[in-house]
Structure 1
Amino acid sequence: MQLSTRYAAVLLALALPAHAASAAAPAAAFSPTDPRHARLYSLERQAFALFDSDDYALSMSQKTRDAWARLHAAALRAKVAGKPHPLAGVALINLSSMDQIDGKNPDALAHANEGLALLAPFADAYPVAWMQGLSIKGYVQATLGDVTGAAEVLAQASRYMDGYIARTPPDKLDPSTHMLRSNIAFSHAQALTRLGRNVEAVDAQRASMEARIAASGPNSPDTIGAYYTYAQMLQRADRDVEAEKYARMAVDIATDHIDRKHPSYARALEALGLLLSRTGRRNESLDYLQRAIAIKRDTVGTGSLYFQFGLQNLGTVLLPLERYADAEPLFMEAERGFRGIEGENSPQSARALAFAASAALAEGRREQGVERFNAALARVRAGSDKDRDIGQRVYPYLIPALIAAGHGGEARAAAAAFAAETRQLDNAPAIPLAQAAMLSAWTGPDRTVLGETARRLVGLLRDDASVHDDAELTEEQRAALDTILAVAAQAQDAALALDAMAILAGSRIAQANRLVAQRLVADPALAARVRRLQDRTKTLQAADSRLLKALAVDSGVAAARTERAAVAAMVDVERVAIARNYPRWVEANGGERPDLGALRDGLGEREALLAVMPAFDGVYLLAVSAGGTRIERAQMDRAALVALVGRLRGSLTPAGFDQSSAHTLYSQIFTPGILATLGRARTLRIVPTGAFASLPFGMLPQRPVAAVTPHTPWLIRRFAIEVQPGFSATPDRRQQMAARDQRFLGIGAPLTFGAIQTADAPRGAGALSQLPPLPGSQAELRAVAHRFGMERTTLLVGRDASEAGLRDRDLSGYAVILFATHGLVGGEMEGVSEPALVLSPRPPMRRGTTGCSPRRKWRGCGSARIG
């Protein structure tokens, strides 16, 4: 008996050679070589000769289909014990293979079902054909959306294959049998992972990899594919260290053993890039993904599924980098490609469309995002309602967008569907379960548990961030935090908002301190403690999942609560111990969870705090003062406000200052409600993240201005502004630091550049002259100096706050150096190519003297280079 190469080629680009004869013992009452059926064997050989032709057009032609049809018809007439001859089923299974290759999946499924039914009484006489039929059926079922059914069929095929190999002598097993085993296990693993059964998927993919090694050897292109696919499965099961090992193995073997233009080389690069991205090394991953796309373009072309996956994968790395505008066209191109290849109801096209929808939301196009999400759901549901993977991708974004658009009924229905589908996942992670519970509470009639569900979700997000060493947030986590902040703003729950904002700020702090944290954990004792905390936190996450599942199905809640409480207690003990013994590591990783009461108590006299946090599609504001708290969402969306920040920074040139953008930003951030909460505070501590970390808050005018004048009502005239990265550096904390025997150097309140009109003024002085004075910065420096004690303090203010004043001073004796002045980003002003701090300009030079010293190492005169 012969089998086609093409079914396996389409599935995994793997070869299934012809003439793969069955090695199993024939059924007792039937022989596949019975001479009475010689005519059928002749028809079988004719059909396989056409199907296995090197002429692809001939192999897939109507002539080949007619040859299989003749075999089918003749075998139906040739009875065996009253049943049609099993070659009737073999013919239909090969027709099914042709259908699947042609993209005719419904026809492929019908032919596979009919062929398997005819072959079933004789399966042991045609074991390879039987397993091939099951493999085609399972693959097509998954493609059409019946993932649960596909998993069952492929599990049946895997069990049969294991039994077949066990009863067949090793010298009778040829490579094609191992390859078929690998194909079946691969398809089974893919179906399991779509159902969220990741632990089982790892086992199935390992079986596929081992069979591939047996079939092709350890260094073949096919085996390289098995390595990186196994790495992907390990990563989904949170086994990141093992995953990176196999991903790098795939790239190393591909580099040493196959041509650079081979598709497996591109896919190995892509798999490693995706793994690096998912473990927080996204910028590093971009190079691997871009190289993979270039190779795919040259080898398989832009009309292949592999190319579309490459586009989609690159887009998914750009999303958490907040490069939404770059990611969206990649997703839309992939969506068109998937749909053109797989048909209008392609699950992959629906997934690409859902990614594009989330990018549209992040860019402020809510209506388009909702339309795309609904289209993605409808596309999959048209094939089957059993594919829950797309719902897990869509609902966490769609439901908040529907609520914001005022579509309460649609949001309620979507929340119910999300909760129902999440409960059905075999090993549903805690975060989706908690999201589903919170969104159900938000859209339901009884909102008494909304705060509780939101606090549970923010706790899970905090735990999730703590078990990963990359410190970066995914766009899913950022969107979940956005939803929590929306709930907090609606309920004016400042404590909840502070918890969510602390995760956003802590992520930025941890990213900035990554190298510091890595140096700290070089201490073996701390490294062991951190790993133990992470392991216990993962155990807590599993306990959270079981509790949430119990709550969702209203069964076993008491036992799940008890288990969760016991694990949580162990985690808390470990966290407290590490914070006590290694406070620097805690600070480097974003600090401890802030307490609203302690934060308010730590505010100084007439001091207030304002957090400005872009989340996913919104920007949230939290004001805290002695008089109260307030949480708001800015009226403009995140993308529009980030664009305004960029416009303002780009306008800081002699050509002009974008007063309109500056005042719009002021009015969006300092709303009447926020100003009322800040009250009569004179000092404002600002905690910004994202683009707002580079916003010159002091330059925001408090009312519209037509031109900059000495009387422009800059915000710095209202508040002495202190910008800090997170919520932990309270005055009490600073007081404790200052109480030690430390020396303090403060530099600030520099002279302005407005008076410099001479020809020897430093390049860029015209732009610098538009910067306002900072009268509040001197008060800020003196306030900090008071905490250290004047005997341990040196202040350089006014004319002394200059580059020369710093160059001539030995700085080694100062434990703390504070600059209270304007900070500039490289390129935002003419003559300022690198980040800089603005200091006092040098006085006009006498005629005949030169400007900056030719030995100067800091760029520009009157500004100190950062770094």
Structure 2
Amino acid sequence: MSTIFRAVTVVCAGFASIAAADAGAGKPGYNSAQTELTGQLVEARRFQQEGKPEKAIELATRVAATAPSPSDLRAEAFSLLGALAHSANDWKNAAAHHDEAARIRRALAGGETTESREADAAAGLALANLGDVAAGRARLDPAWRGLDRTLDRADPRRLTAGLYLAMLQLVARSDGLGEPLLRRLNDDMAALEPTHPLRLEVNDQLATALQAQGRLTDALEMQKRGLALRERAGASADSIGNSEIMISITALSLDKLEDAERFGLRAAASFERAGASLSQGAGMSQAAQAARRLGKLDEAVAHARAAVALAERATPAVPLATAIFRNTLADALLASGNYQEGLAIMRAAHDGIAAVRAEGHPQRTYPQMGLGYATAISGDAAGGMALYRPAFESVFRSVRLLEVAQSRATGAAGNLESFGQGLDVARRAGDREFGFRIAQVMVESDAGRAALATLARLSASDPATAEAIDKRRELLRRRLELDGERVTKALADPAAAQALDTQIAAVDAELAAVTATLDAAMPGFDSLLRPMPEALAEVQARLGEGEVLLVPMTTHQGLFTFAVTRSRAVFGHDPVSRHRVKALVRRVLDGVLPEGRVRAGEDASRDLVDAPLAASFDRAATRELARAMLTPDIAALVGEARLVSVAADPVLSAIPFSLLPTGDAADAPWLIEQVALRAVPSIAALGRSPDAASGVTGFAGIGDPSPRAIAADASSVAKGLAALPPLPGARAELAALAAAIGPRRAIVLTGDDATEARLRTPAVAKAGVVAFATHGLVAGDFDTLAEPALLLAPDAAVAGQAGDGLLTASEAATLDIAAEWVVLSACNSAAGDSLSAAGYAGLARGFLLAGARNVLAAHWPVRDDVSSRLTVATIAASRNGAAAPQALAQAIRALIAEQRRGGGGDDPALWAPFMVVSR
């Protein structure tokens, strides 16, 4: 079995201090034989520190066999043997030796001691690495609690045991505790020297925790910090190289290509100094991939050739590494137009990997996809498809998640590359059906499953089944609350945490039973939660008259776009690189929110046409994006449409499509002026919206929560939330909405009343419009904030996450809301966790799952007067019979016309951020 945890060097040098045994040699009761044994133990420790484990084991074994039992000497000998086995990844002996050391310590003291708990912690780690995570947890939990209670916060023995437990929790995905515990340990190490090895271990494990959550931007920062710690400590060239190559890998996954190339080259240089030629080749291979995506094709080929040469000279030979580096070289050659050599090397790479990896292994499947792509672009599209299709189906079956293109489990960068190649193969082979299948994989997201789960709940014809779906939702909400409580109490009140474990187990048992009921009553329920791609004809049949489904995707092979109507399907392509598209999207966003623009909460008395801002908007960037997506055939379809439903990939959904121009002329109309637009979170749920709920009426507004009181020892999250600026226009905006929609049927929750508990009341559940006017937060805004959230008022009367004053996307999904409209008038409320996160895959996702039919959200903060006006106008048009997308389009067009009449231009910063998200 592979090792789960790395050895922590500072502790594996010996859990208990052998010097203590040395000091005991002069105490009464020690005879000359014991003094000699003590000397042998000290000598064994010296051999261990000098890197001579065989001699250390020989002496420690002799002491363990001959020292009196029980005795400190015997316990110390077993501790040292356990540490030596630990360092060698000999987990079976490590567990046995540490277990014996703990037993002796307890026998000597008549109970638990610091030393016995240290040994238990080490034994628990060894058991986990042997595959028995539950047994490891059973040893580590009480050991950590005892050391946490009895030792100083900065005591390395306490910190090491905590680190072991956090590592186990991360691997076991145990209640989300790993990251909070690591952050606590990180804070506790302030008293240690900056170069103390434990600082580096905790930092590295935090980076691992963040990567496991898909928070790659945060992980990258931790990795860079780890590199700085290594450099400050004077670490070896090999250690520094390992840190640099991990930074390069993460940066490549984030499309931070300049960083990926730079740190790949730095890693290669470090490994060259260390004499590690194969690792040097890995650094060059990383740099080659980044250079290729940057369009630096000559450099990419040169870096890749150097990597292959290093692998071919390695002794002993490593065929797998050689094949992987050849794959990188083939990619660079194909990108540079050298198809003949590229195809030959890709074939050699594929054959080399096939020789050492079994059929179905990912390291064999992905090269087959690459070979299919190389074959297709070299002129044999049919042959390329024959190779690519079965490999793709194998990958898809193994994951069976529609977000597999961005999957945390299998690696975003690898799948994005491979699926982009598949789109190009399908285009060259003229296979629109297969291309559309891949497209659905690339643009579907958790937002899609949220819409489909809502559909399942609302459309279940059997009342008992509908009740079971509702019960499952309630159980998931309760599970979420209990998890949150345990995260808090596990560190401060272990007894309470154990009681919560019992409650969690009971909820899990109920969830299993409800899920079994649903599986029997609704065989398609699981497929709704994890839908399969649908046939092109099935999607076309659900489109409305005059509706175009637009599906654009950025890849390293260019920008691909599907435009689908009831009777036609166009598969377009533009060679613009993903890196270029991301730069264009960033330019557009910088143009609507540069420093100095009017933001939410500023003077609402200003006239809408006052102070034109259009000069800062980057129209050239939007024209380039529009040309890439709206190829001539696609533009013709869109030009004939009444409604465009957009299912964009995460990069492109960061901007509203309403601000795309319809031509190259400076005065070309905006797309929103020609056609209504909406974002759809799921292609599979498209056209399957249930009927409107009955008895839904009135207005519920929530916003302007009370300022937060902050304790001196508050967490960084609490301090950050308290520092958020007030939103002086929030109450006025909610009051205006209430007055416009119907003051006699309105409830407005502000100040201390703006709590999550007040949201879970019948008045809100039955409101026709539910509006939020508060701060919207995105994942990564604060440490441990892993998903989008709305800022509410904290509720001291409610324990756990339900009272923390943050309504996360997953908590929003557990609300009972039947509203026709949910309005998110909050900063960043449409955004995901970065430029690479789907714009609508934030809070809108949660409210769709809760039962809302339409979500009106904004991509960036806007003036309160503009937000209120557009919202009121949109809802009014909707109540007058306009469909949701048309209602928003009418409101935006009126604002654009007013801007132009007043001479203020038609700056998109004011009207473009608003979008409708619906099923």
Distance in 1 between residues matched to 2:399 and 2:216, nearest whole Å: 20
Whether contact under 8 Å (1:155, 1:188) holds in the other structure is yes
**TM-align CA RMSD:** 6.8
Cα deviation, 1:3-33, whole Å, max 9, x if unaligned, reads: xxxx9857867677456989xxxxxxxxxx9
Q: Summarize the Cα distance change of 1:416–1:283 in structure 2 as closer, same or farther, 3 Å threshold.
A: same
Which gives a bigger RCO, structure 1 or 2 (Cα 8 Å, sep 6+)?
Answer: 2
Q: Summarize the Cα distance change of 1:339–1:647 in structure 2 as closer, same or farther, 3 Å threshold.
A: same
Distance in 1 between residues matched to 2:440 and 2:416, nearest whole Å: 12
Match of 2:537 among 597, 601, 607: 597
Q: Summarize the Cα distance change of 1:716–1:353 in structure 2 as closer, same or farther, 3 Å threshold.
A: same
Taking structure 1 as the reference length, the TM-score comes to 0.53
Q: Summarize the Cα distance change of 1:686–1:224 in structure 2 as closer, same or farther, 3 Å threshold.
A: same
Q: Summarize the Cα distance change of 1:404–1:839 in structure 2 as closer, same or farther, 3 Å threshold.
A: same
Deviation at 1:688, TM superposition (A): 2.5
Alignment-derived partner of residue 613 in structure 1: 553
Alignment-derived partner of residue 802 in structure 2: none
Alignment pair present for 1:728 and 2:695: no
Alignment pair present for 1:414 and 2:352: no
3-state SS in 1 of match to 2:897: coil
Query: Which residue identity does 1:489 align to in structure 2?
Result: R
Match of 1:503 among 438, 441, 445: 441
Query: Which residue identity does 2:629 align to in structure 1?
Result: I
3-state SS in 2 of match to 1:818: helix
- Which structure has the greater CA radius of gyration? 1
Cα deviation, 1:570-627, whole Å, max 9, x if unaligned, reads: 999849939769x9xx6xx897744311122234556544421114564322343566
Deviation at 1:506, TM superposition (A): 2.4
Alignment-derived partner of residue 525 in structure 1: 472
Alignment-derived partner of residue 401 in structure 2: 463
Query: Which residue identity does 1:245 align to in structure 2?
Result: L
Spell out the pairing of 1:61-460 with structure 2 (5 A cutoff): 98=50, 100=51, 154=90, 157-158=93-94, 161=97, 199=131, 220-232=155-167, 235-236=170-171, 239-242=172-175, 244-252=176-184, 255=187, 259=191, 263=196, 264-265=198-199, 267-268=201-202, 270-281=204-215, 296=229, 300=233, 320-326=253-259, 329=262, 333=266, 336=269, 340=273, 342-345=274-277, 347=279, 358-365=289-296, 368=299, 382=314, 406=339, 407-423=342-358, 434-435=365-366, 438=369, 448=386, 450-460=388-398
Alignment-derived partner of residue 767 in structure 1: none
Q: Summarize the Cα distance change of 1:507–1:323 in structure 2 as closer, same or farther, 3 Å threshold.
A: farther
Deviation at 1:488, TM superposition (A): 3.2
Distance in 1 between residues matched to 2:222 and 2:556, nearest whole Å: 27
Query: Which residue identity does 2:173 align to in structure 1?
Result: D
Whether contact under 8 Å (2:424, 2:557) holds in the other structure is no
Query: Which residue identity does 2:898 align to in structure 1?
Result: P
Query: Which residue identity does 1:818 align to in structure 2?
Result: P
Whether contact under 8 Å (1:416, 1:440) holds in the other structure is no
Alignment pair present for 1:688 and 2:648: yes
Distance in 2 between residues matched to 1:631 and 1:206, nearest whole Å: 56
Deviation at 1:451, TM superposition (A): 1.7
Q: Summarize the Cα distance change of 1:414–1:636 in structure 2 as closer, same or farther, 3 Å threshold.
A: same
Distance in 2 between residues matched to 1:458 and 1:696, nearest whole Å: 30
Distance in 2 between residues matched to 1:502 and 1:604, nearest whole Å: 19
Instruction: Give ranges in structure 2 of 5+ residues lacking alignment.
Output: 1-6, 23-31, 68-73, 376-382, 459-467, 480-514, 593-612, 698-736, 738-865
3-state SS in 1 of match to 2:647: strand
Whether contact under 8 Å (2:166, 2:181) holds in the other structure is no
Alignment-derived partner of residue 839 in structure 1: 896
Query: Which residue identity does 2:552 align to in structure 1?
Result: V
Distance in 2 between residues matched to 1:496 and 1:282, nearest whole Å: 31
Distance in 1 between residues matched to 2:78 and 2:350, nearest whole Å: 43
Deviation at 1:742, TM superposition (A): 10
Q: Summarize the Cα distance change of 1:11–1:350 in structure 2 as closer, same or farther, 3 Å threshold.
A: farther
Alignment pair present for 1:669 and 2:629: yes
Alignment-derived partner of residue 575 in structure 2: 635
Whether contact under 8 Å (2:13, 2:48) holds in the other structure is no
Whether contact under 8 Å (1:138, 1:187) holds in the other structure is yes
Whether contact under 8 Å (1:206, 1:230) holds in the other structure is no
Distance in 2 between residues matched to 1:339 and 1:374, nearest whole Å: 16
Deviation at 1:482, TM superposition (A): 2.8
Cα deviation, 1:345-393, whole Å, max 9, x if unaligned, reads: 475x6666665555445444466556656766776783656797x7999
Q: Summarize the Cα distance change of 1:393–1:306 in structure 2 as closer, same or farther, 3 Å threshold.
A: same
> Which 10-residue stretch deviates more, 410-419 or 365-374?
365-374
Deviation at 1:639, TM superposition (A): 0.8
Alignment pair present for 1:708 and 2:666: yes
Query: Which residue identity does 1:478 align to in structure 2?
Result: L
Deviation at 1:469, TM superposition (A): 12
Q: Summarize the Cα distance change of 1:466–1:230 in structure 2 as closer, same or farther, 3 Å threshold.
A: farther
Q: Summarize the Cα distance change of 1:345–1:12 in structure 2 as closer, same or farther, 3 Å threshold.
A: farther
Deviation at 1:738, TM superposition (A): 8.4
3-state SS in 1 of match to 2:885: strand
Cα deviation, 1:802-856, whole Å, max 9, x if unaligned, reads: 98697689849579543578899xxxxxxxxxx999533169789xxxx9xxxxx
Query: Which residue identity does 2:577 align to in structure 1?
Result: D
Alignment-derived partner of residue 69 in structure 1: none
> Which 10-residue stretch deviates more, 672-681 or 725-734?
672-681
Taking structure 2 as the reference length, the TM-score comes to 0.51
Q: Summarize the Cα distance change of 1:246–1:169 in structure 2 as closer, same or farther, 3 Å threshold.
A: same
Q: Summarize the Cα distance change of 1:204–1:113 in structure 2 as closer, same or farther, 3 Å threshold.
A: farther
3-state SS in 1 of match to 2:560: strand
Q: Summarize the Cα distance change of 1:726–1:420 in structure 2 as closer, same or farther, 3 Å threshold.
A: farther
- What is the total number of aligned residue pairs between the two structures? 639
Deviation at 1:336, TM superposition (A): 4.8
Alignment-derived partner of residue 768 in structure 1: none
Query: Which residue identity does 1:268 align to in structure 2?
Result: V
Distance in 2 between residues matched to 1:386 and 1:8, nearest whole Å: 28
Cα deviation, 1:671-705, whole Å, max 9, x if unaligned, reads: 56767998987875543333433265774465xx6
Whether contact under 8 Å (1:600, 1:625) holds in the other structure is yes
Deviation at 1:455, TM superposition (A): 2.3
Deviation at 1:410, TM superposition (A): 2.0
Query: Which residue identity does 1:596 align to in structure 2?
Result: L
Distance in 2 between residues matched to 1:13 and 1:169, nearest whole Å: 19
> Which 10-residue stretch deviates more, 475-484 or 111-120?
111-120
Match of 1:577 among 522, 529, 532: 522
Whether contact under 8 Å (1:399, 1:439) holds in the other structure is no
- Identity among equivalent positions (%) equals 17
